[in-house]
Chain A
């Protein structure tokens, strides 16, 4: 039963991930990326990681992708207005992306397969267990990550802040 669900979702997520790359319209790309996130959340549920699944939905599908879609809708990109890339640029982008792929494959090939953890019980991904591990074994990386987030937030506020001397009134209404 779980295996069937896994394969259905795996095939669908690969398909929707390919749609992200190949879709002509950027809005369609973003929408298929949202579908991919949903399918990945389904995989997390199959792995008993319910908390990670729902946080993935709330943060990525619910907040970050809404912002992506928001910006794309505001820009309202159309085929006529979008600048067309020359063939030289396309060729160089293809080659460099291919080289990145090769590097990634090479690094993964040399890695050792990590054996599945013995504690693969149904409760491994519950909030209680995750919280206990985060605040005992991984407390330093966890706190460092939160400081990083605060620094990023302060930076974003600083960039977004209006310079009183040079800028005019901000646009507050839609």
Chain B
């Protein structure tokens, strides 16, 4: 591997890591501000202008809190849980194309890589919840794993429809094909809807936040966690949200393309910068919708969640796949 490539990729990794962390930090602020707006309150406004320093204050608080490990917990796994959750959340971001040449790893199986890390992501919750040696944590962990397995299926089935449409598993190729206004959402409106619902469930966001449902399970899988280990769990949820919004934007909303923008005619640096801004704006809009949904819809009951996943979303996703296949056969 030539040296300049290593340097280029390292800079890109560090930049995207910093962006992801920054967005995750300010998503917590946005979450509270939007919640306050929807509930006719003010929200955080003490630290800095509009409470903009609130994430910093929260971080300092998390680090200053007492570190507590329950005496009957599996110590090693208890510590590994939050780290693993954070790791899997960050790893998914490696294949997202942020611009024509702005991608950490251009894998030819990019979308499968995303699905793979989404399905492995549940281990952080399961290990943490089990190692806490607490009934509520265990229930949270079990709920999280069964919920994620159920919703992964529908997610995979709608992604198959996208693959049939574009003929590639490569996220870059999928983004390239949506040049101008040739977005996949036009051909796959139902797929888009199902993917968004499953993405909410995979991120454990309300209305699917049963693993940490505080009215039934105290804090769910992170009941026993304190200090920055709890911070990791909460923070990784926002990272998951950001990355899955970016994946939705890449798969359905044109990726870094915008009508009227042709990157091949531009200076590469300017083109990549504009492409990054375009995809970043779409992603932030997606994160906003995630937050909006959380403060609008009530939480599902557990049997309703399973019913929705297995008896409604999966049959609809299979139907979507069949119709797409027929469409590709006739018009393709």
**Which residues, 290 to 332 on B, are CB-close (under 8 Å) to A?**
301-303, 306
Q: Which residues of A contact B77 (CB under 8 A)?
A: 31
Q: Are A54 and B116 in contact (CB under 8 A)?
A: yes
Chain A at the B interface: SS class = helix
Q: Are A54 and B120 in contact (CB under 8 A)?
A: no
In-complex Cβ contact of A62 among B119, B138, B142, B303 (8 A) = B119
Residue of B nearest to A127 (CB): B169
Q: Which of these binds chain B: A65-73, A79-87, A95-103, A137-145?
A: A65-73
Q: Are B108 and A50 in contact (CB under 8 A)?
A: yes
Shortest CB-to-CB span from A78 to chain B, Å, is 11
Residue of B nearest to A66 (CB): B145
If the complex has contacts A50-B108, A54-B112, A126-B108, are A63 and B152 also in contact, measured as CB distance less than 8 A? Answer: yes
A93 at the interface (CB under 8 A from B): no
Q: Are B119 and A70 in contact (CB under 8 A)?
A: no
Residue of A nearest to B167 (CB): A128
Q: Which residues of B contact A73 (CB under 8 A)?
A: 126, 130, 138, 141-142
Q: Are B107 and A174 in contact (CB under 8 A)?
A: no
Per the bound structure, the CA–CA distance linking A57 and B113 in Å amounts to 9
Q: Are B149 and A174 in contact (CB under 8 A)?
A: no
In-complex Cβ contact of B107 among A34, A50, A76 (8 A) = A50
Shortest CB-to-CB span from B126 to chain A, Å, is 6
A12 at the interface (CB under 8 A from B): no
Q: Which residues of B contact A50 (CB under 8 A)?
A: 107-109
B249 at the interface (CB under 8 A from A): no
Q: Which residues of A contact B148 (CB under 8 A)?
A: 66
Q: Which residues of A contact B303 (CB under 8 A)?
A: 172-173
Q: Are B108 and A127 in contact (CB under 8 A)?
A: yes
**Which residues, 37 to 71 on A, are CB-close (under 8 Å) to B?**
50-51, 54-55, 57-58, 61-63, 66-67, 69-70
- B: which residues have CB within 8 A of A? 77, 107-109, 112-113, 115-116, 119-120, 122-123, 126-127, 130, 138-139, 141-143, 145-146, 148-149, 152, 169, 301-303, 306
Q: Are B109 and A173 in contact (CB under 8 A)?
A: no
Q: Are B119 and A127 in contact (CB under 8 A)?
A: no
Q: Which residues of B contact A51 (CB under 8 A)?
A: 109, 112
Shortest CB-to-CB span from A16 to chain B, Å, is 15
Q: Are A62 and B116 in contact (CB under 8 A)?
A: yes
A74 at the interface (CB under 8 A from B): yes
Q: Which residues of B contact A17 (CB under 8 A)?
A: none
In-complex Cβ contact of A63 among B119, B130, B306 (8 A) = B119
A9 at the interface (CB under 8 A from B): no
A27 at the interface (CB under 8 A from B): yes
Shortest CB-to-CB span from A136 to chain B, Å, is 18
Q: How many A-B residue pairs have CB under 8 A?
A: 69
Q: Which residues of B contact A174 (CB under 8 A)?
A: 139, 142-143, 146, 302
Residue of A nearest to B131 (CB): A27
Q: Which residues of B contact A67 (CB under 8 A)?
A: 149
Q: 11 A–B contact pairs at CB < 8 A?
A: A34-B123, A50-B108, A57-B120, A58-B112, A58-B116, A66-B145, A70-B146, A127-B108, A127-B109, A127-B169, A174-B142
Shortest CB-to-CB span from B89 to chain A, Å, is 15
B116, B130, B148: residue with the most chain A Cβ atoms closer than 10 Å: B116
Shortest CB-to-CB span from A172 to chain B, Å, is 4
Q: Which residues of B contact A74 (CB under 8 A)?
A: 142
Q: Which residues of B contact A62 (CB under 8 A)?
A: 116, 119-120, 152
Per the bound structure, the CA–CA distance linking A58 and B116 in Å amounts to 5
A61, A63, A127, A174: residue with the most chain B Cβ atoms closer than 10 Å: A174
Q: Which residues of A contact B142 (CB under 8 A)?
A: 70, 73-74, 174
Q: Which residues of B contact A34 (CB under 8 A)?
A: 123
Q: Mark A83-117, 1 if CB is under 8 A from B, else 0.
A: 00000000000000000000000000000000000
Q: Which residues of A contact B143 (CB under 8 A)?
A: 174
Residue of A nearest to B120 (CB): A62
Shortest CB-to-CB span from A164 to chain B, Å, is 18
Q: Are A58 and B119 in contact (CB under 8 A)?
A: yes
Q: Which residues of A contact B119 (CB under 8 A)?
A: 57-58, 61-63, 66
Q: Which residues of B contact A70 (CB under 8 A)?
A: 126, 142, 145-146
Residue of B nearest to A53 (CB): B109
Given contacts A31-B127, A61-B119, A74-B142, 10 further A-B contacts (CB under 8 A): A31-B77, A54-B109, A54-B113, A57-B116, A63-B149, A66-B119, A66-B126, A127-B109, A173-B301, A174-B139
A67, A74, A127: residue with the most chain B Cβ atoms closer than 10 Å: A127
Per the bound structure, the CA–CA distance linking A66 and B152 in Å amounts to 12
